[in-house]
Structure 1
Amino acid sequence: MKALQNMERIQVNHEVMLLLLSVYESKGKEFYYDELFSRDSNVYEKKVVLDNAYYFAKIFSFDLTDSRLKLLAKKDLLSKNKEEQFYINIREALTLVQKNPKDFELLVNEISDLAKLLSEQTNPIKYQTYKSEEIAILATKKEKSKKEDLEKLIELFNKQIKTKQYELSQLIANFYVDFLNMKIFSDKNQEIALILLYALLIKHFNVFKYVSFFKNFNDFKTIWKSGLDQANYYWETHYAQTDLLSRVLVDILKKSYEEVDEFSREYAFEKNLNKSDNIENTISKGNEVFTKEDIRKAHPTVSEATIDRTLKRLKDENIIRPLGKGRSSKWIRIVESRNKNKDQQLTLF
């Protein structure tokens, strides 16, 4: 608790203050985003869970191939080993967080349940114990569980939030540093800490309902590690240097809001258009050779059935044809589509 106990040490410089103002200005648009994406909220939820699970594994260097990671994230497959089972457990935990972000409460029982979920059919994750300084009968030291320390940490975090003296991302960063250094569990403290950090962020910042936190976090992984090393070095002295970690969180938030703002404009434009025509337009303007995955990435809210139906229609109309068979087969555009011809005529004026 040495970081949260000494929040007075933190000073916010002018540059970070401007970034925070930008983030909270964007946060004010969350009601608009929720209304705009309401029709496809389930689609975004599934996509973000898949991305989160995949990049979480990348952050922690899971010994699994990319294709296996993506397959395990998408489908309910039986694990071949403990590494795969742990990844499946991570996916389940992230799914639960994503489904009901506002319902998450930072409670000991919640964290205990998380540890239990992550340890299913893998190695056990238990609360650490230690000898207390209290002298008991026969001059023996009493063994205490770090579960009690976790209760105190959570109590302090909630108390600091209620004071409204400190910015939220700074409190979350300092909670994260305390949790890691206190070594609450026998195993997987880093993974649990990062999931808790994410759960706290998505509870208060809706942007992560539509944008993958762990995908953006992965881009800052190196600088985050540097900031964490710096914070850990001074933690024992009660002067953990968490400025860099807080700055990274703000940068991730800013980048995420910019991302959702960018695709929300495109989404709003396409919302009332025919989805099949949109796909045809993408094909007509894109590379001559393309894959079904390219279409999925360009139109994440369009159903698989609509994509298949559009590809079949364009094939029947001799606009495209398949190159090979199977899941990874490619397509080639053989004639210009009607949509592209229309666009070309419009550009003349």
Structure 2
Amino acid sequence: MLLTMYRSGFEVGKYISLEKIIEDSKETYYDTLAQSSANWNENQNNYAPFIDYFLGVVVRAYRELIERIGIVHNPKQLRADKLILKTLQQQLRPLSRAELVELIPQYSQTTIQRNLKKLKEEQKISPIGKGKNIKYVLRQ
């Protein structure tokens, strides 16, 4: 699918992982695959559910890309603490300080560290693990 997209001029897969989006929605992926495969042996299957699902994946990837581009072009638009919260929300997984520094290049490691401490004190994020292996998630 990715190669077909590249050949058709859709290059979002170079910047956003379509595989991760599919992995994050794998139950829906398998459901739509099963729906599209029903009656395949009789040549009576309907590809529409899978096409609809895949187009949703592409739209989600483009939305994520647009959001990331917006962050790069407006680096100081969001304060560091707001950007950390937004990044944790987008990634949908625990992130280490080093990963946050990499994902938020417009702020220094010291600024990220200071804001992580502040967000933890405000109980907006929770640490997972200890020491060098500590990661952060949004607080429920």
Q: TM-score range by the shorter chain?
A: 0.5 to 0.7
State the TM-score, normalized to the length of structure 1. 0.26
Q: Indicate the residue corresponding to 1:208 in structure 2.
A: 13
Look up the equivalent residue of 1:244 and give its one-letter code. P
Task: Give, in whole Å, the separation in 1 of the partners of 2:39 and 2:82.
Answer: 57
Unaligned runs of 5+ in 2: 86-95, 118-129, 136-140
Instruction: Say yes or no: does 1:236 pair with 2:41.
Output: yes
Higher relative contact order (CA 8 A, sep 6+): 1
Q: Given that residues 224 and 244 in structure 1 are in contact (C-alpha distance below 8 angstroms), is that contact kept between their aligned partners in structure 2?
A: no
How far 1:294 moved relative to its partner? 3.1
Indicate whether 1:217 and 2:22 are aligned: yes
For the pair shown, the structure with the greater C-alpha radius of gyration is 1
Provide the rounded CA distance (Å) in 2 between the counterparts of 1:286 and 1:242.
Answer: 40
Structure 1: 5+ residue runs without aligned partners? Answer: 1-196, 331-349
- Give the aligned partner of residue 340 of structure 1: none
Structure 1: distance between partners of 2:71 and 2:37: 43
Which residue type is aligned with residue 282 of structure 1?
A
What secondary structure sits across from 1:234 in the alignment? Answer: coil
Q: Deviations over 1:158-211 (max 9, x none)?
A: xxxxxxxxxxxxxxxxxxxxxxxxxxxxxxxxxxxxxxx233234431111111
| Matched AA of 2:3 | A
Measured in 2, the distance between the counterparts of 1:329 and 1:220 equals 26
Picking from 245, 258, 278, the partner of 2:63 is 258
SS of the equivalent of 2:45 reads coil
In structure 2, relative to structure 1, the CA distance for the partners of 1:328 and 1:269 (3 Å cut) is: same
User: What percent of counterpart residues are identical?
Assistant: 17
CA distance in 2, matches of 1:250, 1:225: 15
Scaled by the length of structure 2, the TM-score of the pair is 0.58
Q: CA deviation at 1:259?
A: 1.3
Q: Tell me which residue corresponds to 1:294.
A: 100
Amino acid at match of 2:47: T
How big is the shift at 1:253? 0.9
Cα 1:230–1:286, aligned 2, differ >3 Å: closer, same or farther? closer
In the alignment, the residues of structure 2 paired with residue 219 and residue 227 of structure 1 have an alpha-carbon distance, to the nearest angstrom, of: 14
What SS is found at the alignment partner of 1:266?
Answer: helix
Please list the CA deviations of residues 87-114 of structure 1 after superposition, one character each: whole Å capped at 9, or x if unmatched: xxxxxxxxxxxxxxxxxxxxxxxxxxxx
1:199-237 deviation per Cα after TM superposition (whole angstroms, max 9, x unaligned): 323443111111110121123322221222233231122
CA distance in 2, matches of 1:284, 1:264: 17
Show the counterpart of 2:92.
none
